[in-house]
Structure 1
């Protein structure tokens, strides 16, 4: 567990989202789906049906390594103005089969590393403040998460540009599943295939 996270803002030089043919990302897991989430038949669209919590969801398969690291992306299909906080995005080393019940916020799943919410990073339960707050994301925004190759940092992209980079120490983690929390201002997301 990192004791302190190094966080850099969008103005810092950083990586770019992987280009070319992205690896295939498996759909969300119905088994590791929050009580307030409704999944599309194909498992790629998650809608928060009520409330603002219990809307976390884990991918059904680990992310494949690709040049630059492991990457996945969601599109915000619907957002609600006036809410404080928004999308949480990250990865977990916990298999969806081991998630008996998704907690009220997805960052509470053991061995989970997430960025967003109300301007926070949660690294295996440890909270760190961020300058980036996703409550301003609007419909059509593309939000990507890269676990960088080599150092295992979390890099969040919004519409292809670095929003924040967090030193997460995930270099040694071989199996990481995508995690999204459809929280507060974010209402519907679709996972890029």
Structure 2
């Protein structure tokens, strides 16, 4: 057999063998599982929520989980309070950034290991941080906080526990 035909035969055999292996590997992959994830739209948002740029620690963490589990996310865009109802009714599968409360724990499964700890900050005017070195320095101050949010109830409790006589200025917001 001439060397040219032998090389051609070996090349075709290798090509067909590799093509067959590649085809088999794709055939064995299951289709991705569709996971509906709630995404809170800002209050009074007028544009198409699907065009909102998504980024941040939680977003990246959820993408990593999806890649490990062969999930494909379908985002459900709604106001925050509607998303909590959707989660309770099973219309969405995941809702991130839900603050843990004993009441919510009766209704929802919270992960055993949170992806981060919750921390709340009090912001003060530029150049005045030296006036607020201790929690007592906030006595009688007005503090803006989201209306009907978990944070507002936690602030009320912190105020009560510390006797700071804070004045809560309630602000309409889209997230709890």
Coarse TM-score class (shorter-chain normalised): under 0.3
If the length of structure 1 is used for normalisation, what is the TM-score? 0.23
Q: Identify which of structures 1 and 2 has the higher relative contact order when contacts are C-alpha pairs closer than 8 Å and 6+ apart.
A: 1
Higher strand share: 1
TM-score (norm 2): 0.24
Larger Rg: 2
